Amino acid sequence: MLNFPTWKKALIGIICAFGIIYAVPNFFPEDTFEGLPDYAPGKTMSLGLDLQGGSHLLLEVDTDTVITERFESTEDAIRRALRGERIGYTNLSVQGASVRFGLRDAARANEVLSLIREIDLTLQVSEDNAQFAVTLDEQGLAEARTNAVDQSVEIIRRRIDELGTREPLIQRQGAERIVVQVPGFDDPEALKSVIGQTAKMTFHLLEEGSTPGVAPNSAPPGTMILPANEGGGNYLVERRVRVSGERLTDAQPSFQDNQPVVSFRFDTLGARQFGDVTKDNVGRYLAIVLDNKVISAPVIRDAILGGSGIISGAFSVQEVGDLSLLLRAGALPAPISFLEERTVGPGLGQDSIDAGRIASIVGMILVVGFMVLSYGRFGMMANAALIINIMLIVAILSALQATLTLPGIAGIVLTIGMAVDANVLIFERIREETRAGRTPLSAVDSGYRQALTTIIDANVTTLIAAVLLFAFGSGPIKGFAVTLSVGILTSMFTAIMVTRFLVVTWLRSAKPKTLPI
Amino acid sequence: MLLQLVPKDPKFPFIRFHKIGFAFSALLILGSIGLLGGKGLNLGIDFLGGILLEVKTEGPADIGEFRDRLSGLGLGEVSIQEFGAPDDLLIRVQRQEGGDGAQQEAVTIIKDALGDMVSEYRRNEVVGPTVGAELQEAALYAVLAAIGAILIYIWFRFEWQYGVGAIIALTHDVISTIGLFALLQLEFNLATVAAILTIAGYSINDTVVVFDRVRESLRKYKVMPFPELFDLAINRTLSRTIMTSATTMIALLALYFLGGSVIQGFVIAMIWGVIIGTYSSLFVAVPTLLYLRPRRGDEDEAPFAEQAAPDSNS
């Protein structure tokens, strides 16, 4: 254990140098190292939301809605096809996982089959005695769910980008969940109102002859009753979507007659659809529907062919701004709900950083002093290793771009305490061997030799706990597990390699008769 | 002169007192289980779901006023306590009936009710019932998996007797830590689970060091009776045990007093863990071996030279 071949010395040197170079940027202001190429050291540990402040949200996408919509639109398409061909049907409705209906004239069954094929090739039809059951392709439904979540991630990203925050993290988690982390944003309510709204806008015609704000108790086939967005009243609206909000290319807040309104513009297809519907239905009411609520239902006075228009309603300036943002970013394919929310204000974050820093420094000074008192010269060598150890932890965390959380800082402080353990084991062993009458060299050699397996066994068990902590933990706890694991590895390295190197070098040059331990 | 916390060649008769230790531990475990059944754990919102707000006020907070405003909202149990400073309050509201969305609505109601009494919302945590249940499950698995993995590792590296001894000591530490949280009614949350797993790691670390020495001594001194041999192993490693506990404790105390209120619960668990982990290595883990009787090592592995060696004359 006393020989250090050149390559080993070089390796220790390289690792320590790496530690210092990569750790150093953390002790300087953030912008000192800007402009360096990516591979150069200069990265710092990124601070977790609990330290820099920010919001963490866990959302769930209600994908069942997407499936329900699929069935409803299939039902609608079948109805229109049957009506178009003047085929009599009965009891057309969605029942469970299929659309069912019967035919008045069983002889036209074959005609119906080919009609349904025309709607969508993936539809599966079974017919029994003029009773039809149309089911949707299982795989297609599963894909629809997946797409809904992926799209939601994309839409939420666009919306948050519009808020102008830096480096948000938006990530899918599991089948139907999305994690959103927005650093430095401390108004969770505003964030949630921007993320949470489905913002699905559609343009429908009011059912012929019905009055805005007045609806019967039950909706005839092909129509639906929707409530007003503001104030009371219900609207009887055609189910059929005339123009969808997806066709919007732009939406901006503006004013008309001193009232805040949203002005919007359609893409080419949207403009044509909008032109057609307004041209053919002059005098009827056009309902602007947002998330199944009618914002307004103006009467169509003229064909609007330019592809742009305004939405007026009882809006505040703030609402107009939010609505424009939502329309620009697009609608969520399905409603979402918030499962978990954790927000830390910037004040608390800064307090935690300060507290963590002071606790680390004080803890470090106390441990260093204690080691010198207990082991003298050897204690100082252990302390040198301890400082290199801290550097290495910081360096590895920076290089990995790991996130430093408050429990992570606790992990580092704890490592300071536990890192000396390996050295203590060795030193106590050397003491023992010295008392047993060995010469300094042989005591040191035997001390390291005997302590080695113990150190490895003891640390591997702690590492097991740390790894499991990482696997099961979330957020800040993961940060703790990372620093603890890294700390265990670096403390083994520094105790076994660095301290030993220092001790051996000193022994060889000073050649002491007795060990000062 | 160097500081020595433990006399040079300690000869404490640990094994002679092991029955007292067992009795004490049995009391500790029974007490913990009793407390768990009786008082129960003060589960945090991580596991139950609910709302936690940390707020700052202009000047010292009027807790009574806060309580008045919040109690009339029909949100169920609301707890308000000072948190680290007189102008810093921690507000906990129980999980709201009606699923994940209901929690969000409650937050809005609370914020409206508090209005300008609050100058800053420092922390805002809302956990719905779905996630709470999942976190509970994950935490339980984490602790069980950690205990299992450690058992397997020790079994693999030592003999089964050591594995069983280590796990008994480890379980002892985990249960008594949970008992402490029940006794003091400290909030039991995700950070506490992290602390418990770290305690598990620390406790096992300590136990392994002593076991390692027991195994080594078993090979060296083939005829020494178990009680004497275990005493020797414990005493030989005692200085290291105390030193490591001391340095870890120093670091933890620094964290406790300077690290801020947010991690105090976590640190309390750790401090207890270091104390109980050290105790259990000496008074639970090793004495358990008395009854499990590990094998006396491989005859070939212990050279005679070392058998006569250092220890007879020191």
Measured CA to CA, the distance from residue A292 to residue A234 in angstroms comes to 11
* Residue-level pLDDT at A406: 82
**H helix or E strand, kind and range, residue A133:** strand A131-135
Which tens digit of pLDDT belongs to each residue from A481-497? 888 899 889 988 998 88
Residues 6+ apart with CB under 8 A from B29: B172, B175, B176, B179
Using pLDDT thresholds of 50, 70 and 90, give the confidence band for residue B309: very low
State both tokens at A45.
Answer: 């540990």
Q: Is the pLDDT of residue A159 over 50?
A: yes
- Asked whether the predicted pLDDT for residue A16 surpasses 70, the reply is yes
A:171-190 residues touching chain B, CB 8 A cutoff? 186, 188-189
Residues 29-88 of B with CB under 8 A from A: 54, 56
Nearest partner of A376 among A421, A422, A427, A415, judged by Cα = A427
H or E segment to which residue A484 belongs: helix A476-493
Q: DSSP string spanning A314-359?
A: S--HHHHHHHHHHHHH---SS-EEEEEEEEE-HHHHHHHHHHHHHH
Pairing of strands A243-244, A201-205: antiparallel
Q: Does A456 touch chain B (CB under 8 A)?
A: no
Give the single-character DSSP code of A176.
T
B41 class by beta-carbon count within 10 Å (0-12 exposed, 13-18 middle, 19+ buried):
middle
Phi–psi pair at A133, nearest 5 degrees: -130, 120
pTM score, two decimals? 0.79
Position B150 pLDDT exceeds 50: yes
- For A334-358, write each residue's pLDDT tens digit: 899 889 888 998 888 888 889 888 9
The answer, yes or no, to whether residue B3 has pLDDT greater than 90, is no
Instruction: Name the one residue in this structure whose structure tokens are 């980008």.
Output: A161
From chain A, pick out residues whose CB is under 8 angstroms from the CB of B104. 192, 338, 341
Q: Choosing among B198, B199, B311, which should be mutated to test the A contact, i.e. which has the most A CBs within 10 A? A: B198
CA-wise closest residue to A384 among A505, A508, A256: A505
Instruction: Find out whether B154 and B294 touch, Cβ atoms under 8 Å.
Output: no
The span from the CA of A146 to the CA of A164, in Å, is 28
Q: Is B146 on the interface with A (CB under 8 A)?
A: yes
pLDDT band for position B1 (cuts 50, 70, 90): low
Tokens for B56, please give them. 């700052």
Would you state the pLDDT for residue A383?
A: 92
Q: Which residue has the tokens 């009027």?
A: B62
> Does B313 have pLDDT greater than 50?
no
The CA-CA-CA angle for residues A52, A56, B114, to 5°, reads: 85
Instruction: Collapse the DSSP code of A138 into the 3-class scheme (helix H, G, I; strand E, B; otherwise coil) and give the result.
Output: helix
pLDDT for the residue B32: 96
Which residue among B5, B8, B251 sits closest to A367, beta carbon to beta carbon? Answer: B251
What integer pLDDT is reported at residue B310 of this predicted model?
45
A343, A55 in Cβ contact below 8 A?
A: yes
- CA A346 to chain CA mean position, Å: 20
B160 in A contact zone (CB under 8 Å):
no
Contacts of A58 in chain B (CB under 8 A): 131
Distance CA A440, CA A512 (A): 7
What lies within 8 Å, CB to CB, of B91 at 6+ separation is: B51, B52, B53, B54, B55, B66, B70, B78, B79, B80, B110
Name the DSSP letter for residue A1. -
Q: How far apart are CA A194 and CA A165, in angstroms?
A: 13
Candidates A62, A342, A187, A337; CA nearest to B135 is A342
Mean pLDDT of B11-36: 93
* pLDDT given for residue B312 in this prediction: 41
Report which DSSP code applies to A496: I
Q: How many CA atoms lie within 13 A of A57 on its CB side?
A: 31
Are A496 and A452 within 8 A, CB to CB? yes
Say whether A338 and B153 touch across the interface (CB within 8 A): no
What mean pLDDT is reported for chain B? 86
**Segment B181-232, tens digit of pLDDT:** 999 998 898 888 888 888 888 888 889 899 989 988 998 888 889 999 999 9
Name, in order, each residue with C-beta under 8 angstroms of A517's C-beta and a sequence gap of 6 or more. A375, A376, A377, A378, A427, A430, A431, A434, B2
Contact B88, B111 (CB under 8 A): no
Which candidate in B124, B157, B281 is best for mutational testing of the A interface (most A CBs within 10 A)? Answer: B124
Q: What residues in A contact B246, CB-CB < 8 Å?
A: 370
Q: Which of A345, A476, A484 sits opposite B198 (nearest CB)?
A: A484
3-state helix/strand/coil string of A400-462: CCCEECHHHHHHHHHHHHHHHHHHHHHHHHHHHHHHCCCCHHHHHHHHHHHHHHHHHHHHHHH
Arithmetic mean of pLDDT, A402-421: 82
pLDDT at A263 over 60: yes
Closest chain A residue to B51 measured between Cα atoms?
A: A341
For an interface test with A, give the residue of B258, B261, B268, B313 to mutate (most A CBs within 10 A). Answer: B258
Which of A21-35, A55-69, A350-364, A417-431 shows the lowest mean pLDDT across its residues?
A: A21-35
> Which member of A418, A461, A465 has the closest CB to residue B208?
A461
Question: Is the pLDDT confidence value at B280 over 90?
Answer: yes
Predicted local distance difference test score (pLDDT) of residue A286: 92
DSSP string, A243-261: EEGGGEEEEEEEEETTEEE
**With contacts defined as CB-CB under 8 Å, which chain B residues touch A410?**
255, 259, 263, 266-267
State how far Cα A467 lies from the chain centre: 22
Pairing of strands A248-256, A243-244: unpaired
Question: Tokens representing A332?
Answer: 């969520």
Residue A486 CA to its chain's centroid (Å): 25
To 10 degrees, the CA torsion angle through A39, A44, A47, A51? -170
Percent of chain A with pLDDT over 90: 18
Write the pLDDT tens digit of every residue in A239-260. 888 998 888 888 999 998 888 9
Rounded to whole angstroms, the Cα distance separating A414 from B245 reads 11
Strand runs labelled E in A215-284: 223-227, 234-238, 243-244, 248-256, 259-266
Neighbour order of strands in the sheet with A89-95: A89-95, A98-103, A131-135, A124-128
Helix axes B190-220, B264-280, angle to 10 degrees: 20
The H or E element that residue A127 is part of is strand A124-128
Taking CA atoms, what residue in A is nearest to B238? A428
Q: What is the pLDDT of residues A40-90, one digit of tens each?
A: 666 778 888 888 888 999 999 999 988 888 888 888 888 888 888 888 888
A501 to chain B, minimum CA–CA distance in Å?
Answer: 21
pLDDT tens digits, A187-220: 788 888 888 888 888 999 998 888 888 888 888 8
Count other Cβ atoms within 10 Å, centred on residue B193: 25
Please answer whether residues B292 and B304 qualify as being in contact, where contact means their C-beta atoms are separated by less than 8 angstroms. Answer: no
Q: Is the distance from CB of A339 to CB of A177 less than 8 angstroms?
A: yes
| Lookup: tokens for B120 | 């800053």
Of B246, B255, B311, the CB nearest to A370: B246
Which two three-digit tokens encode residue B172? 């002892």
Mean pLDDT of chain A: 86
Phi-psi domain of B237 (left: phi exceeds 0; alpha: psi -120 through 50; beta: other):
alpha
Entry field: residues in chain B? 314
Could you tell me the CA-to-CA distances from A286 to A217, A310, A313, A460 in Å, in that order? 21, 13, 14, 70
pLDDT at B297: 57
Pairing assessment for the beta strands A124-128 and A169-173 based on DSSP bridges? unpaired
Size of interface A-B (CB pairs under 8 A): 250
In this prediction, residue A35 carries a pLDDT of 65
Average pLDDT over residues A223-233: 86
For chain A, positions 406-425, list CB contacts with chain B under 8 A: 406-407, 409-410, 413-414, 416-418, 420-421, 424-425
Report pLDDT digits (tens) over A297-335: 888 988 888 888 888 877 888 888 888 888 888 888 889
Q: Does B267 touch chain A (CB under 8 A)?
A: yes
pLDDT of res. A152: 92
The three-state (H, E, C) secondary structure of A139-170, written as one string: HHHHHHHHHHHHHHHHHHHHHHHHHCCCCCEE
Token readout for A86 is 């003047």
CA distance B143 to chain A (A): 8
Taking the C-alpha atoms of residue A499 and residue A451, their distance in angstroms, rounded to an integer, is: 13
